[in-house]
Copies of this chain bind each other. A is one copy, B any other.
Amino acid sequence: MIQKVAVILSGCGVYDGAEIHESVFSMYFLAKKGIEYSLFAPDTMQAHVINHLNGTELRQERNVLMESARIARGKIAGLNQLKVNDFDALYFPGGFGVAKNMTSYAFDGDDMSVDWQVEDVIKAFFKAQKPIVALCISPVMIAKVLGNVTVTIGNDGATARSVKKFGAQHVNTEINEVFVDEKNRIITAPCYMHDASVLEVAANIEQAVDALIRF
């Protein structure tokens, strides 16, 4: 039974960190369904800082854990504190932080690398046969780390091609669908990979949490 989930944030803000709505709705629906969660983030520097008004880069440095702490209201720990035995599942919201801070997908595409701590955590939960939830762009990282699994990132052709390049299978989904790889215990949901409303994204995350509960 899923009682306690480790949620991994990648900063604070869709263009250079964790997607804020996806993170907050994840906390909300996990709590609503009676699942406890703890928040973690890599204690590393962001790839860069984006002005969220116009998409330009700011000459500033920010730390991923410190910025993630904004979403967490301070209740968050470094990813190196995460003990797999303490949790029943691993959970990644989306946002460009996944593609910039936890991996280099936004810069290197199919040649991307993955933060070694993040990679270790994904492999450890997978090996322990514990479910992994990945929203939005984060299934790309799951595909890169685990290879032969099946995920969805919605219906974006280029990203789906990357998923396949990493040896994984891709299933197209709409905003009201999640995909569950039963065999590998991996739940993926497209969320803001679609041009979706706040209500659609919230509903999609509730579906993902419901799918997690069924394990």
Contacts and interface: CB of A to CB of B under 8 A. Distances in A.
B73 A31 contact: no
Interface stretch (A18-26, A171-179, A180-188): A18-26
A95 B197 CA distance: 24
A123 interface: no
A54 B43 CA distance: 14
A51 interface: yes
A199 B31 contact: yes
Q: Which interface residue of A13, A24, A53, A199 has the most chain B CB atoms within 10 A? A: A53
Interface in A4-47: 12-15, 17, 20-21, 24-25, 27-28, 31-32
B70 A52 contact: yes
A71 interface: yes
Contacts of A13: 12, 70
Interface string A181-215: 00000000000100001110010000000000000
A24 B20 contact: yes
A26 to B, nearest CB: 10
Given A28-B198, A52-B70, A60-B60, 4 more contacts: A14-B70, A24-B25, A28-B202, A73-B192
26 contacts: A12-B12, A12-B70, A13-B70, A15-B74, A20-B24, A20-B70, A20-B71, A20-B73, A21-B27, A21-B73, A24-B24, A24-B25, A24-B198, A25-B28, A27-B198, A28-B202, A31-B199, A51-B66, A52-B67, A52-B72, A52-B73, A53-B66, A53-B69, A53-B76, A54-B74, A73-B192
